[in-house]
Structure 1
Amino acid sequence: MYRTGYSTTSPLRIRLLAVTLAVPMGLGAAVGCNKTPEPEKATDLERIQPQQDEKGAAAKSKLPPIPDGPAAVVGGVEIPREKFMAIYELKLKKYVDRGREVPTASDRRYRKSIIDRLIWAEVLRQEAAKLGVTIDPKDVEARLQKQREGIKDWEKHLERRGETEDSLRELVEIELLEKAILNKLGRLAVTDEEIRAEYEKVKDHYKSDKPRVRASHILIPVGPKDRLRPEPGKPPPPEPTEEEKKKWEAEALAKAKEIYEKAKAPDADFAALAREYSEGPSGPKGGDLGIFTKDRMVEEFAEAAFRLGVGEVSKPVKTKFGYHIIKVTGKWPAGTLPLDALEDQIRKRLEQRKLFEGKRDLKKELLSKYEIKNNIEPTLGPDPRARRPKPPAAKRTLGAGGEAKSGETKAGEAKAGG
């Protein structure tokens, strides 16, 4: 029996298929049709409204756009929408630049944190005005300057943080205003009675079988600063010559001797000299190293410090770190440190505790005191964390005699043997 046509596997059929397929493939390659089209990047906030949650699942609802008009009104004072948007757009910029949609949970968190802090800043300003409390602009600038230290590209740093220069300045102002208001209200004062009570609680933690001293120092390292703190990613500097080593050594010693002459003067302010000259990490704290035993320091430093009497200043002492001018501010034998040794430390700890608790209480108090209209809050929707079911409480099973099974404990008993 004869077959009409030709086989799909015949040489002629294969050649025809090859020619037929080659034409569109060649044309496609010529015009670039085989390239995967790049995703179009979002260019405005309307196109990056959140569609997905943090895990990538489709979100049940989309957050509404930011409304026109003021972002909030506090005590009759409007917080402009533009002020909110300046920070909000920076927070979302990383998603815009990558053409990604903003996760709903992230968007909600950004909106809430920004408007909450703008409202709180305005509340603080109004309360400070009522109390006659002010902050020094120099203190604000000093804090900002401290943050700028060591950052090469400040603008890029702000962008990464999602802040503007003005918004960062306001964060510093919030911190200073909180403390100033609490001081005005007398809520940060620490009494001698509180210090003594705290000392009784902690004194057993300050026992030692070795003598201790408290000392401050001024460190003058040997060699140029760029050798001491090389920039990350750069190769280490070449090994110095013997002549360079001798030169750096002589310069460091000469500077240390000059500072020593100033430090040993009867009216010298050692802490101020340390802040001005010391290259060590304790310099900004006036050179204070705290209380230590002899074995906590390098040998040359420890020997010099423990030979000094209270209030005495050492001549320059050489260690592997450079030259040190040391001043001993306290000295105690083995045993429990007395109250006077720990008083400053306890006072600072109590001040920090009162500041933390004071900020929390002040916020609760003032936010309930002022009339606030938050126009961003309606766009947040329900808090997703509020919908999470709580895990069931662990069941406690008791044996026949009332003892707890599987290592559990009965109420009122300590876990480690009662």
Structure 2
Amino acid sequence: MFMFLVILLLVSLSWASVVARIGSETIKRDEVYSLFQSYWREILHLPIARATKFDVQNFLVELVRAKIIQKEAKKMGITIDERELEEYIERNIGSKNLSRAAREFIKTELLIDKILDRLGGGVQVNENQIIAYYYLNLRDFKMPAQVGLERFVADTLDSANEVHYRLSKGIEFLEDIKGLRKGEIMWYSIQALPEVLRKQLSPYQIGTLSKPIQTEAGYVIFRVAGRRNEGIIPLEEAKSMVRAKLIKEKRQEVLKEWLENTLKNYRVEFYFSQL
């Protein structure tokens, strides 16, 4: 009798730790909190002390969604190899010291892109749709003064100093500098720039360089590549932005419909009270 009670207690404790099910697969509380802490720090870049139970619940829903997407991608023969993952992380995040949780969520987003390419690769928008969106949403195109910055990331301070010297002399040849990565031009509100960059780059003349700045990704040099004054972005300049936004929205509609239909094939259960 005593042994039966012990077994019953162990089963009850095991059941109490389950916070979600996908068919016969269970997700346990310890796994969720371990993954959540990594996600909160590395993807959202927020202090874990600010997290609430509601945040954990939302994360659990996203975790289930990610697991289902990965299962479906496997059925469709869609994969992300390590090279693709590493290149994306290096190009868009910089830091390679990511946890398994962060890498899995990044991998899921890449899988979503590939799934959407297969489902909605033919999504297009026409000129009339772009023009209509622009004039109906002019407020969205009112921009503060901005500066376009190129980013050069070097592994060592010596390499960064060499990059700075060459660029300051108008020498664009940098291919022989090992461990150097060049990012695409990104636009920033001048007022939102860190003070150290505002001081070094003002008055934001094209070609102005910052000194090497040490970060987790390496030593970064910024170069002014363009400047926009405050005002409404002209239609011709905004067209590519509008086209990308409308295509993204249509792709998201395709993804939403696909997910809704896909979820019908899975028995999903959440036990939020166990969190």
Shift of 1:182: 1.7
The structure 2 residue matched to 1:201, chosen from 131, 136, 142, is 136
Counterpart CA distance in 2 for 1:147 and 1:320 is 14
Shift of 1:123: 3.0
> Relative to 1, partners in 2 of residues 1:45 and 1:197: Cα closer, same or farther, differing over 3 Å?
farther
Shift of 1:93: 8.6
Matches within 5 A, 1:33-48: 46-48=12-14
Shift of 1:338: 0.8
Shift of 1:180: 1.4
RCO comparison, higher one (Cα < 8 Å, 6+): 2
Counterpart CA distance in 1 for 2:146 and 2:66 is 45
The structure 2 residue matched to 1:326, chosen from 216, 223, 230, is 223
Unaligned runs of 5+ residues in structure 2 are: 1-8, 35-56
Task: Tell me the percent identity.
Answer: 13
Q: Tell me, yes or no, if the aligned pair for 2:164 and 2:211 is still in contact at 8 Å.
A: no
* TM-score, with structure 2 as normaliser: 0.53
The letter of the residue matching 2:83 is K
The letter of the residue matching 2:165 is K
The answer on 1:298 being equivalent to 2:198 is: yes
Shift of 1:360: 1.3
The letter of the residue matching 1:181 is I
**1:236 is matched with which residue?**
none
**1:216 is matched with which residue?**
149
The structure 1 residue matched to 2:111, chosen from 149, 174, 177, is 177
> Relative to 1, partners in 2 of residues 1:343 and 1:326: Cα closer, same or farther, differing over 3 Å?
farther
The letter of the residue matching 1:356 is Q
The answer on 1:123 being equivalent to 2:72 is: yes
> Relative to 1, partners in 2 of residues 1:202 and 1:288: Cα closer, same or farther, differing over 3 Å?
same
Q: Tell me, yes or no, if the aligned pair for 1:218 and 1:325 is still in contact at 8 Å.
A: yes
Matches within 5 A, 1:370-389: 372=265, 374=267
Shift of 1:291: 6.2
Q: Deviations over 1:349-394 (max 9, x none)?
A: 33443343332111123345xxx464x75xx79x99xxxxxxxxxx
Q: Deviations over 1:144-190 (max 9, x none)?
A: 78597456xx5xxx6xxxx6x9xx64x55443332212222335745
Shift of 1:324: 5.7
Q: Deviations over 1:295-325 (max 9, x none)?
A: 997355232x34x4xxxx34x4669999966
Shift of 1:111: 9.4
> Relative to 1, partners in 2 of residues 1:198 and 1:143: Cα closer, same or farther, differing over 3 Å?
same
Counterpart CA distance in 2 for 1:137 and 1:324 is 28
Matches within 5 A, 1:70-149: 72=23, 84-85=25-26, 87-88=27-28, 90-91=30-31, 118-126=67-75, 128-129=76-77, 135-142=80-87, 149=96
> Relative to 1, partners in 2 of residues 1:268 and 1:367: Cα closer, same or farther, differing over 3 Å?
same
Unaligned runs of 5+ residues in structure 1 are: 1-42, 52-62, 73-80, 95-107, 226-247, 278-282, 385-418
Q: Tell me, yes or no, if the aligned pair for 1:317 and 1:325 is still in contact at 8 Å.
A: yes
The letter of the residue matching 2:166 is E
> Relative to 1, partners in 2 of residues 1:287 and 1:203: Cα closer, same or farther, differing over 3 Å?
same
Counterpart CA distance in 2 for 1:254 and 1:144 is 25
The answer on 1:349 being equivalent to 2:245 is: yes
Give the helix-richer structure, 1 or 2. 2
Q: Tell me, yes or no, if the aligned pair for 1:214 and 1:328 is still in contact at 8 Å.
A: yes
Q: Deviations over 1:257-276 (max 9, x none)?
A: 12445x654x999xxx9x94
**1:191 is matched with which residue?**
125
Q: Deviations over 1:22-68 (max 9, x none)?
A: xxxxxxxxxxxxxxxxxxxxx955434449xxxxxxxxxxx9xx9xx
Q: Tell me, yes or no, if the aligned pair for 1:207 and 1:337 is still in contact at 8 Å.
A: yes
**2:52 is matched with which residue?**
none
The structure 1 residue matched to 2:186, chosen from 263, 288, 300, is 288
The answer on 1:257 being equivalent to 2:257 is: no
Q: Find the structure with the greater CA-based Rg.
A: 1
Give SS of 2:137's match: helix
The letter of the residue matching 1:360 is K
Q: Tell me, yes or no, if the aligned pair for 1:215 and 1:328 is still in contact at 8 Å.
A: yes
Give SS of 1:289's match: strand
The letter of the residue matching 2:116 is L
Shift of 1:199: 2.0
